[in-house]
Amino acid sequence: MDLTPDAKRAFHVQSYGPGPSIDGVELVELKRFSDDGGTMTELARLADGRPQAFAGFTLRQVNYSEVEPGAIKAFHVHLRQTDIWFVPPGDRMLVVLVDVRQGGKTEGTKLRLVLGAGATRMLRIPPGVAHGVRNVGTAPGRIIYFTDVQFASEPAACDEGRLPWDYAGRDVWDVVRG
């Protein structure tokens, strides 16, 4: 069968294989327990401030953030800090990661993934990986995140740098339709 010339130009095969990976980024599946009254998800088991699921990470601070529907909070990048993010399964947040570490084996790699959306997962974001989030849900989206460096607002001590929201391209925030 032949397609029309317009259809031939627009035709592509969607990839169902694994997406790109970024060195040091980890996605850990969590157990969610349910009973007649609701659910419970264990976020971390700590031994001396170190979550068992994330080797080499020492917990220094726990934060909670809310993002309005449609809002984009991006891009942040840390030189020393590792973030571990959790989005509740009832929320739906599009996360975009870009490896901005010069000379690394995954330098320039972009990774898009959705947190929440019925899943219970935690995401490790190492230093030098720019990260941002867009709430693609219809209600405020929530992020609980753990850091191994305590926040300091003073410019000389602050480890949170910024890149423009469209650093990875404006279309990286679009919901893929297909």
Closest CA to 67 of 123, 117, 132, 119: 132
Question: What gap in Å lies between CA 74 and CA 57, rounded to an integer?
Answer: 24
Determine the pLDDT at residue 118: 94
Region 25-152: CATH code:
2.60.120.10
* DSSP symbol at 6: H
* Residues belonging to the chain: 178
Low-confidence ranges of the chain (pLDDT < 50): none
Q: Angle at CA 44, nearest 5°, toward 41 and 49?
A: 160
Give 77: exposed, middle or buried? Use CB within 10 Å, 0-12, 13-18, 19+. Answer: buried
Give me 80's structure tokens: 């020393």
Determine the pLDDT at residue 5: 85
Determine the pLDDT at residue 69: 97
pLDDT tens sequence across 79-99: 999 999 999 999 999 999 999
- Domain positions in the chain are 25-152
Question: What gap in Å lies between CA 95 and CA 133, rounded to an integer?
Answer: 4
Q: Model's pTM, two decimal places?
A: 0.88
pLDDT tens sequence across 99-127: 999 999 999 999 999 999 999 999 999 99
Q: Angle at CA 145, nearest 5°, toward 94 and 68?
A: 45
Phi then psi dihedrals of residue 161, to 5 deg: -95, 165
